[in-house]
Amino acid sequence: MSENSLRKAETAMELYSEVLELMKGHGLAIQGATIAQLLAGFLAGHHPDTREGYLADHIAAVRRMIVIFDEQKRAEAARKAAN
């Protein structure tokens, strides 16, 4: 990973943490609606001819991230069970 890519990933994780904190305490429906509005706003900022491609790329990235989050949850549960 290049230094620039690493910085972008770190910035994305920091922003994720901030947004996660803002959404805590709100129900799943509110959280889901917020995420949908953010994604719609993101896609609306692109030319209509490119939106489907960006959406497909985004969904593929989300699917990859779900696997990572699941692995992190399993590892955390195993650590807790060991203590």
| pLDDT one-digit tens code per residue, 27-37 | 999 999 999 99
Report residue 53's pLDDT band, with 50, 70 and 90 as the boundaries: very high
Sign of CA dihedral 45, 50, 51, 57: negative
Kindly report the number of other CB atoms within 10 A of residue 12's CB atom.
Answer: 10
Report residue 68's pLDDT band, with 50, 70 and 90 as the boundaries: very high
Sign of CA dihedral 17, 24, 61, 32: negative
What's the confidence (pLDDT) of residue 1?
Answer: 75
In the chain, the amino acid numbered 69 is F
Report residue 46's pLDDT band, with 50, 70 and 90 as the boundaries: very high
Residue written as tokens 């904190």? 21
Tell me if 9 sits within 8 A of 1, measured CB to CB: yes
The pLDDT > 70 percentage for the chain reads: 100
